[in-house]
Structure 1
């Protein structure tokens, strides 16, 4: 299954990549890196793991979080999501999308929505 990234409310497809993907960004206040690994499953997008290089406003660690190689690692208690809207402020550094060892920066300031891609009819 693939994960799609669209501009707006799923109207213009920007990217399609095989699951899993890693979404990363810099915390807007504390300026440390955060990464999320997302997987496409029949029930929706599943947040498999969150990694954080620091702690700060809006970053709450669950009891099972562990520190390894400078990263806080944990799996958020979040059910599968039909779509995920990214808070893509033009004031931040933007998001980086990585899949199959290739990464690219996403355009800052655009409203972005992530979802499980529909099956390719080919």
Structure 2
């Protein structure tokens, strides 16, 4: 499996089968984390973590408080993620297995929006 990222004409392919996205909620100023699995043509949201509730961040039924955060399992499957990045809030952080989290700007231009994240397809093999 591989993860493809693209923004502003730039693209990158990462050989991973899982990743996490972390961002700071623009109003509540607390981290939100989503743990994703990379499939052959989809991304599956396996687990989400949030430190507290607030504006648009209600803790869902069945969530478990663990390590100072709420953990829950949304089980969402999508073809791709389309992220809007703003100069007015910190960049998304991408966490790869066995590596520290790093801002998306370490891979793609920070000003480029939207940033697309998806499972790589066969036609991406040439990249």
Q: Tell me which interval the TM-score lies in, with the shorter structure as reference length.
A: 0.7 to 0.9
Unaligned runs of 5+ in 2: none
Pairs aligned (count): 118
Q: Is the 8 A contact 1:62 1:76 kept in 2?
A: no
CA shift for structure 1 position 4:
1.4
Deviating beyond 4 angstroms after TM superposition, the runs of 4 or more aligned structure 1 residues are: none
Partner SS state of residue 38, structure 1: strand
- Residue in 2 that maps onto 1:44: 42
- Aligned equivalents of 2:43, 2:118: Cα separation in 1: 7
C-alpha distance in structure 2 between counterparts of 1:15 and 1:71, whole Å: 31
Residue aligned with 1:58, SS: coil
Preserved CA contact (<8 Å) 1:65 1:72: yes
- TM-score w.r.t. the length of structure 2 is 0.82
- State the alpha-carbon separation in 2 of the partners of residues 98 and 92 from structure 1: 18
Q: Which moves more between the two structures, 36-45 or 20-29?
A: 36-45
Partners in 2 of 1:74 and 1:17 — Cα distance? 26
Cα distance in 1 between the residues matched to 2:2 and 2:94: 13
Bigger fraction of residues in strand: 1
Normalised TM-score (structure 1): 0.85
Contact 1:5–1:115 under 8 Å retained in 2: yes
Which segments of 5 or more consecutive residues in structure 1 lack a partner in the other structure? none
SS of the aligned residue for 2:54 comes to: coil
Question: 1:65, CA displacement in angstroms?
Answer: 0.8
Give 2:16's match in structure 1, choosing from 11, 15, 18. 18
Alignment of 1:1-122 (within 5 A): 1-8=1-8, 11-78=9-76, 80-102=77-99, 103-107=101-105, 108-111=110-113, 112-119=115-122, 120=125
